[in-house]
Amino acid sequence: MDNESPGASGAINYQLSIINSFLTHLASERRLSPHTVSNYQRDLKDAFRLTGQRDWATLTVHDMRSLVATLHRQGKGGKTIARLLSTLRTFYSYLMREGLARDNPAVDVRPPKSGKRLPKALDADQVGQLLDAGMEKDDPLSLRDQAIMELFYACGLRLAELLSLNLDSLDLSAGQLLVTGKGNKTRQLPIGKPALTAVRRWLKARTLFIKDSEEKALFLSKNGRRLSPSSVQQRLKRHALERGLDDHLHPHKLRHSFATHLLESSGDLRAVQELLGHADLATTQVYTHLDFQHLAQVYDGAHPRAQRRKGDDEESS
């Protein structure tokens, strides 16, 4: 026998009918796509179930926060919860317009922050697979692309930093690169031998791309202008696929690989911070997937003021 009373069943059906009226409004008045309407329907039915199938007009901001907490415990991500809250805010605006609710309990509720997703670093073999394969090619475009990829990995450059490089950014005799980063801050970076060789080879080929003798950009497109971000991203993706790597390879992944490999080899977090151009050590921590315990060990072992003499703890206690 069904334990649900006829009255309760009727109340639930009424609340579900309100959802259906709202979905009709989305499809007919707002002309949203069937896919979008289906997403609204799924979100509202989930919310209705998780809030105990109560009258929409009785739900409060505390109920909304409880709903967010429940979804978070279930492992739902910040973006998923944010979308559901957005659905509820839109739904309650409709209810208020129709006189079915007095306020919008979802309006000031915020989802948990989504964790920053970082690209997985290439391992050393994958970097070799990408870069070594281009060393034998001598056509102008390949020479340019090889120099670009070598600099990304050798210097940990951001895409915008690489694109802003000019001829006078290079000091070939000293093997150094002057980079302008975020906040217009400059930093001097060493260039490793493979990258230096690749850049020298490109500079010889660069003369074939020159259309305007006044153009100072280090890397030129076939029309003689400074390269665009999309051009570099597309060329990098192409070379990765040709060399058996996945199609998600992009400049930031090479920067991340640079930071990870350098830190694994040196353990010098401050040096990596300087090379990446990070103002905050916490940003370097995120890039390199370090946990706090490892950070603390590096700090305690390297920072002069962190190295306490034996007996200091006893004296201060």
Instruction: Determine whether 289 is an active site residue.
Output: no
Instruction: Determine whether 255 is an active site residue.
Output: yes
Report the C-alpha gap between 153 and 255 in whole angstroms. Answer: 6
- pLDDT band of 312, cuts 50, 70, 90: very low
Cβ atoms of residues 210 and 221 within 8 Å: no
Q: Is the pTM of this model over 0.85?
A: no
Per-residue model confidence (pLDDT) at position 293: 52
Per-residue model confidence (pLDDT) at position 227: 95
Per-residue model confidence (pLDDT) at position 296: 59
- pLDDT band of 287, cuts 50, 70, 90: low
**Catalytic hit among 253, 255, 256, 261:** 255
Per-residue model confidence (pLDDT) at position 315: 40
Give the number of other CB atoms < 10 A from CB of residue 25.
Answer: 16
Instruction: Determine whether 248 is an active site residue.
Output: no
Tokens of residue 168, six digits: 């006078």
Percent of the chain with pLDDT over 70: 85
Average pLDDT, the chain: 86
Is residue 273 packed enough to be buried (19+ CB in 10 Å), middle (13-18) or exposed (0-12)? buried
**Catalytic hit among 187, 252, 289, 294:** 252
**Catalytic hit among 42, 102, 182, 248:** 182
- Output b/e per residue, 169-190; b: 16+ Cβ within 10 A: bbeeeeebbebbbeeeeeeebe
Instruction: Determine whether 278 is an active site residue.
Output: yes
DSSP 226: B
**Catalytic hit among 25, 83, 89, 158:** 158
Mean pLDDT over residues 177-203, rounded? 93
**H-helix segments, the chain:** 6-28, 34-50, 61-73, 78-97, 124-132, 140-155, 159-163, 193-206, 229-242, 251-266, 269-276, 281-287, 292-302, 312-316
- pLDDT band of 206, cuts 50, 70, 90: very high
Mean pLDDT over residues 97-117, rounded? 84
Percent of the chain with pLDDT over 90: 59
